Amino acid sequence: MKRSSFQRYQNRKALCLYGLIDLLIPPFLLGLIHFCLTPGAFLKSYYYLAALSGLFFLLGTAFQGGYSRYNERSISKKLEITFKTWFINVFLLLTITYFYLVTSNFDRVIMTLWVISTPIIVVSLKITINNLNRKISKTKIEVAILGRNYKFNEHEHRMLKSQAIKLTYIDLDKTEKLQKNIETISPDYLLLNLEKPANEKLVKELTHINMKGTRVIELFHFMEAFLRKCYIPYDQQDLSYLDTVHSYNTTNYCVKRIIDWCAVLILGTLSIPVMLASAYKIKKQSPGKIFFSQSRVGVKGESFKAVKFRSMHENAKFDPYTQKEDPRIFPFGNFMRKSRIDELPQLWNVAKGEMHLLGPRTEWDILVENYEKEIPYYHERHLVRPGISGWAQVLYPYGANTEDSRQKLMYDLYYIKHWSIWLEVETLIRTIGVVLGKKGL
């Protein structure tokens, strides 16, 4: 176990089910696809592939720590382990086939469907089991919080509760009884949420607690591990973001642009009927311009014109924030906002290279100017191009004030800092879920 890892599973039931999935699903799918396409006897060579695929999948996942109680439970981590393991699995099977089963006659359609469908089915089953396990699990991850510097909001409490994390607060004025309180609570972690730096006496106390098995963790580690956001201190004295948050390297940027162009070509083509129908409904319900353009802040703080379908009446009263049941929004405009249809024209900005499909949300330059005065490190989100959707939009509800923008910035910084193709796919999956649920981002 790495020192930076955190325990996620209090029991091994879900992990055992993961192992059964890895062992049984590959051979089962091969048999099912073979039966559906070519009903008949299984060739002996298919038996070998079926048996070896499950065994290799099980061993490969175990080698990557997929059955560890300290393994991340996130969708992106499951995607990473599953697809990496399956890629190696397929390579090994191809090698064995070349040397030992070269005379066998494998059906290319069957093999192609099997190779494509297996990792998708495995990940889907694991996500389902993970969600069910969280709902029915009675065991909790006990976290004792020392101090009340940062106050967790309702959204964060819901996220922690969904992960079976129980919080217990310990006041700083009771540090002389800290060890006794810890022994009484018996937490898995002691979270340092201090208003001021620890003195020498407290450091000694924490050292003894750490040695007795209760893991002492700092707030920013806890935030990144369990809430998947980067903590921004109010005192503005932490300069770590200037060193740890960077823009994408060349390889990552190229991957992002490939995803962008796939979205432009596929989503743009499929949504043509939707966009034509939207243009008609806008004209019918609110005569005026179909499109709405606004100056937004992009990469390196440079402004550009972001294009959207107009969802408010023209010449509506100025207010930088949208209110609940805002009278400025006409009925179909409200539907477009909830379903994200109003964002479709921004595919043009993606094609021009001003935006990505996924990234920090584009913000109005007037609001950005105010945010930079009140929120530390706000300009760090402009290290990368903004996106039509993003990590903050799918994990945090709609915001209407500076504190909400500060919270969303924490998610944006996490996305930039921890970007990977797997986090990108998870963000896309969550975006689809939000759109289908018609929740505003």
CATH of the domain at 175: 3.40.50.2300
Q: Is 239 a member of any domain?
A: no
Residues 185 and 41 in one domain: no
- Phi-psi bin for 276: left (phi > 0), alpha (psi -120 to 50), beta? alpha
pLDDT by position in tens, the chain (length 441): 444 578 888 788 899 999 999 999 999 999 999 988 887 777 777 888 899 999 999 999 999 999 998 888 899 999 999 999 999 999 999 888 877 766 667 888 999 999 999 999 999 999 999 988 888 877 888 999 998 888 999 999 999 988 889 999 887 765 567 878 888 888 889 999 988 877 788 888 888 887 777 889 999 999 999 999 999 887 766 667 677 888 999 999 999 999 999 999 999 999 999 999 999 999 999 888 999 898 999 999 999 999 999 988 887 666 666 667 777 888 898 888 888 899 999 999 999 999 999 999 998 888 888 888 888 888 889 999 999 999 999 998 876 778 888 999 999 999 999 999 999 999 999 998 888 875 544
Q: Is 235 a member of any domain?
A: no
Do 441 and 340 form a contact (C-beta atoms < 8 A)?
A: yes
Residues 211 and 115 in one domain: no
C-alpha 436/C-alpha 423 separation (Å) is 20
Residue that terminates a domain, selected from 136, 171, 200: 136
* Domain hosting residue 102, numbered range: 13-136
Residues 65 and 213 in one domain: no
pLDDT, residue 318, reads: 62
C-alpha 2/C-alpha 215 separation (Å) is 13
Torsion of CA 24, 29, 30, 33, to 10 degrees: 160
Residues 119 and 148 in one domain: no
Do 301 and 379 form a contact (C-beta atoms < 8 A)?
A: yes
Residues 218 and 328 in one domain: no
* Short-list 84, 186, 100, 69, CA closest to 420: 84
Outline where 66-143 has alpha helix (H).
75-100, 108-136
Residues 155 and 255 in one domain: no
Do 31 and 50 form a contact (C-beta atoms < 8 A)?
A: yes
pLDDT, residue 3, reads: 47
pLDDT, residue 1, reads: 40
Do 74 and 419 form a contact (C-beta atoms < 8 A)?
A: no
Residue that terminates a domain, selected from 94, 118, 136: 136
Q: Is 103 a member of any domain?
A: yes
Residues 322 and 395 in one domain: yes
Q: How many domains does the chain have?
A: 3
Residues 6+ apart with CB under 8 A from 88: 56, 60
Residues 89 and 173 in one domain: no
**pTM exceeds 0.85, yes or no:** yes
C-alpha 18/C-alpha 125 separation (Å) is 9
Q: Is 259 a member of any domain?
A: yes
Q: Is 152 a member of any domain?
A: yes
Cα 344 to chain centroid, rounded: 22
C-alpha 255/C-alpha 250 separation (Å) is 9
Q: Is 285 a member of any domain?
A: yes
C-alpha 44/C-alpha 42 separation (Å) is 6
Pair of tokens at residue 116: 């494509």
Residues 128 and 150 in one domain: no
Residues 330 and 370 in one domain: yes
pLDDT, residue 323, reads: 66
Q: Is 241 a member of any domain?
A: no
Q: Is 233 a member of any domain?
A: no
State the Cα angle at 336 between 257 and 258, rounded to 5°.
Answer: 10
DSSP at 223? I
Residues 289 and 322 in one domain: yes
Residue that terminates a domain, selected from 89, 119, 136: 136
